[in-house]
Amino acid sequence: MDYSCLDDNTSNNNNNTSETLSMSTKKTPSPPPQAMRLYRMGSGGSSVVLDLENNGVETESRKKLPSSKFKGVVPQPNGRWGAQIYEKHQRVWLGTFNEEEEAAASYDVAVRRFRGRDAAVTNFKSPASDSESAFLEAHSKAEIVDMLRKHTYADELRQSERKFLDGNGKRRKTATTVNENDGVSREVLFEKTVTPSDVGKLNRLVIPKQHAEKHFPLPETATTTKGVLINLEDRTGKVWRFRYSYWNSSQSYVLTKGWSRFVKEKGLRAGDAVCFERSTGPDRQLYIDWKVRSGTEVINPVQNVVRLFGVNIFNAATNAKTNDECGGEKRSREVDLFALGCSKKQAIINAL
DNA sequence: CCCTGTGTTGAA
DNA sequence: TCAACACAGGGG
């Protein structure tokens, strides 16, 4: 606090964050926020500074970022909002959002998953429906965090609920651990053995034209623009969102944005295969699965199981999603999962 | 180059 | 636990 720059007032006030009123749009695409230009990027309000000679006033050039009135919400230099929750002395990042309220709602979801259904400290104190509570309990913290970061939580919750109801009321126990495999039927659309460039740094997977045109026809409008976003669920129940588009330059259909994350998390290597499937049900949900290259001698028994995707041999239940053989070794479970999308894990210090 | 999300710290 | 601040590094 030493360097309290004290630019005249402005400091507090935040109360009126108002402005945001434009309720017109609910989801709001994302036109850049209003005054983003104000904030200095990078080092934001570098300590010191200010005053200088000049007028001694200065003020304007770099204001402190506006505080949020919501818990777990922090401002980002570019005018967007971040959401975070703490657990065990560690911050768990919940993603960035265009709207402050969106970030606040994400915090609410996280706090229920992390601290229980009756966590009192939510921003919008909704009671938490039974179905949502069930949904939360059916997924690991890491999965929920992942959905929040990818902004897919609402979609997945909705899908989960309709599935639970199931037209005939013959509720199956889907609630527990994912594993859709059992009852729900799905058809295999096609499979591709990935090439070195599919798993390299290009962040793209080429979809063989024949399959692309047969199963993933791209709307005319999309071919000219930037393509479309598609959601695919993997064997752990995690939903992946990729950009799907057509590259005129190479006359190819490709999955781009988001693809490298999948490659990284699953530890895909050239020669492995990715398989695309689709629910035969009315929802037409898409799925993506992967198999390690058959032929190579399996390094460890776990991979054997992986090879037989589609069949739930290994009780994936409980720990399910740990998959990754990336690291090769497992340490504490829950915590480790957060290393997932992120790069470094750091701290696990405690345990003592 | 831009922006996310982590490193870090002081306060609650 | 939490938010403010700064900015390294990832991603486009």
Asked whether residue A160 carries a pLDDT value surpassing 70, the answer given is yes
What average pLDDT does this structure show over A6-34? 30
| Distance set, CA A157 to CA A44, A93, A114 (Å) | 37, 20, 17
**pLDDT for position A222:** 57
The rounded radius of gyration (Å) of the Cα atoms in chain A is: 23
What average pLDDT does this structure show over A256-276? 85
**All residues at 6 or more sequence positions from A315 whose CB lies less than 8 Å from its CB, including other chains:** none
A129 — pLDDT class (breaks 50, 70, 90): confident
**All residues at 6 or more sequence positions from A320 whose CB lies less than 8 Å from its CB, including other chains:** A140, A177, A178, A236, A237
**pLDDT for position A73:** 96
**Tens-digit pLDDT profile for residues A196-207:** 888 888 888 988
Please tell me whether any atom of strand B lies within 7 Å of the Cβ of A149.
yes
User: For A180 and B3, how far is CA from C1' in angstroms?
Assistant: 36
**pLDDT for position A295:** 57
Please tell me whether any atom of strand B lies within 7 Å of the Cβ of A82.
yes
Q: Indicate yes or no: pTM above 0.95.
A: no
| Distance set, CA A256 to CA A14, A72, A223, A228, A271 (Å) | 39, 31, 14, 10, 19
Of all nucleotides in the shown strands, which has a C1' nearest the CA of A73?
A: C3
**pLDDT for position A315:** 33
- Residue A66's Cα: distance from chain center in Å? 25
What average pLDDT does this structure show over A99-128? 87
Strand B: list positions under 7 Å from protein Cβ. 2-8, 10-11
**Tens-digit pLDDT profile for residues A47-86:** 333 333 333 333 334 567 889 999 999 999 889 999 999 9
Phi-psi category of residue A93: left, alpha or beta, with phi > 0 → left and psi -120 to 50 → alpha: beta
**pLDDT for position A240:** 83
